[in-house]
Amino acid sequence: MELKERIFKDRNVLSPHYVPDELPFRQKEIEEIMRSVLPATAGQKPKNLFVYGKPGTGKTCSVKRVMEKVGKNPGKASLAYINCRIYNSRYRIMQKILKQFVPELEKSGFGLPYLYEKMIEIMGRGTQLVVVLDEVDMIKDLDELVYTLTRSNDETKIGGITLIGISNKLSFKNDLDPRSKSSLYENEMVFAPYTAVQLQQILRQRAGLGIRAGCFDESAVNLASAIAAQETGDARYALKLFEKAAEIAEYGGKEKITDMEVEGARKRVEIDLAGETVNTLPENHQLVLYAIAKLTLSGSRYSKLEFENESGFLISGEVYEEYERVARGAGKRARSSRWYKEYLSDLETLGLVTLTLSGKGLRGHTTLIKLGYDAKGMLGLLAPKLGGASNG
């Protein structure tokens, strides 16, 4: 017998991946992106655009909405959206762009020069390729990609390729070659975090679509919005929190979602959201995060030392040693300390850890690291992925 949900009307509406017909508080940004892309439909090359801001600020949804609108009447534009966590190299991205024109590229064995010539050929017909690189900072050889695409533009009199980069990592451009930086950042847009009032309206809109009438208190919407605004200004967080509160009410046989269900959902959502991020991390990032969680749970050797206003932090050198042990336990080779610092910076950008510089007195100045989530929950997320790491 199928159980009828008493709280949910359409659970999908509360998913962070759902794109509503109207995106509250992002109309100005959508119009700006649209103005940037529209010249491509008339065969003119738009400038590259870089969109950045913290997770959950509507960057991807806004760009996808523009792509959807332009895609209905593309003219001479050809649009491609690429998730750079999956397609994270120059070769794979060029292959993905060209598959819609050259189906045989599904097969492997075509070299980069072949892909390049095909791209020139397609652009030579007057096609304006508009390529969205979501999480562009995950591309391993971004400098090489930008150089290749810029060069292809120089070789065609008509047609061209335009990049729209999306990133959560505000500082990654500092590591780019100056030539790549100047060509990639022709236009820039920053998406600010949502305020508590904005999150209330977003959540009220989604709750009205996804939850049955009369099955949630207004105060529950306000509380979920306030918690999300206090934490990050992240709309995904607010939506996840309310969805989890609805599940608690549903499975608990309640008639409606109240403040109690929102409070009960809070801890569960934090680790759920962390899990979504952890699932897409490269392996070495996961190994470093596992080392941090393991040391947090077992205790630092320096736990008796007190840092002013810095309790619960681990010392970077100690974490690196643990990372080496964890890597060996997983049958992997730890990367150099230079790469390790990059991994820490990425983990901080994603909100998984907090980094701070210590005061004088302990090995001079050193980086102190603090896990942003419950250590036991984080180990539970990571252990199945890293296999033998737990024995390292």
> CATH 3.40.50.300 residue ranges in the chain?
27-191
> CATH 1.10.8.60 residue ranges in the chain?
194-278
> CATH 1.10.10.10 residue ranges in the chain?
281-391
> Is domain 281-391 given the CATH code 1.20.1070.10 in the classification?
no
> Is domain 27-191 given the CATH code 3.40.50.300 in the classification?
yes
End-to-end CA distance of the chain: 47
- Mode of pairing for the β-strands spanning 367-371 and 314-315: antiparallel
The pair of structure tokens assigned to 242 is 């309310």
| Separation CA 379–CA 297 (nearest Å) | 9
- Residue 278 burial (CB count, 10 A): 21
Q: Which amino acid is located at 13 in the chain?
A: V
Q: Tell me, what's the pLDDT at 83?
A: 93
Q: Give the SS3 label for residue 161.
A: strand
Q: Tell me, what's the pLDDT at 8?
A: 92
| Separation CA 161–CA 94 (nearest Å) | 11
Residue with tokens 């008639």: 255
| Separation CA 74–CA 170 (nearest Å) | 31
Q: Tell me, what's the pLDDT at 361?
A: 52
What are the pLDDT tens digits along the chain (392 aa)? 345 678 999 989 988 778 888 888 999 999 999 999 999 999 998 889 999 888 889 999 999 999 999 999 999 999 999 999 889 899 999 999 998 898 887 776 788 999 999 999 999 999 999 999 999 988 889 899 988 988 888 888 889 999 999 998 777 777 778 877 777 777 889 999 899 899 999 999 999 999 999 999 999 999 999 998 887 778 888 999 999 999 999 999 999 999 999 999 987 887 777 787 888 788 899 999 999 999 998 877 665 454 444 567 899 999 999 999 999 998 899 999 999 998 998 888 777 898 888 765 555 568 899 998 888 889 988 887 776 555 55
Q: Which residues fall within 8 angstroms of residue 86, CB to CB, at 6 or more apart?
A: none
Render the burial of 90-121: b for 16+ CB within 10 Å, e for the rest: bbebbbbbbeeebeebeeeebeeeebbebbee
> Is domain 194-278 given the CATH code 3.30.460.80 in the classification?
no
- DSSP assignment of 328-363 equals HHTT--PPPHHHHHHHHHHHHHTTSEEEEE--TTSS
